[in-house]
Chains A and B, each alone.
Chain A
Amino acid sequence: AQSVTQLGSHVSVSEGALVLLRCNYSSSVPPYLFWYVQYPNQGLQLLLKYTSAATLVKGINGFEAEFKKSETSFHLTKPSAHMSDAAEYFCAVWGYKFYFGSGTKLNVKP
Chain B
Amino acid sequence: DVKVTQSSRYLVKRTGEKVFLECVQDMDHENMFWYRQDPGLGLRLIYFSYDVKMKEKGDIPEGYSVSREKKERFSLILESASTNQTSMYLCASSSGQGSGEQYFGPGTRLTVT
- Interface of A with B (CB < 8 Å)? 6, 9, 32, 34, 36, 41-46, 49, 51, 90, 94, 96-103
Contacts and interface: CB of A to CB of B under 8 A. Distances in A.
Interface of B: 4, 33, 35, 40-45, 48, 56, 58, 90, 92, 98-99, 101-102, 104-107
B2 to A, nearest CB: 10
Given A98-B33, A98-B102, A43 B45 contact: no
14 contacts: A9-B40, A36-B102, A36-B104, A41-B106, A42-B107, A43-B104, A43-B105, A90-B43, A97-B56, A97-B58, A98-B102, A100-B42, A100-B44, A102-B42
Nearest to B41: A102
Given A41-B106, A100-B43, 18 more contacts: A41-B107, A42-B106, A43-B105, A43-B107, A44-B43, A44-B92, A45-B104, A49-B101, A90-B43, A94-B98, A97-B45, A97-B48, A97-B58, A97-B98, A99-B45, A100-B44, A102-B41, A103-B40
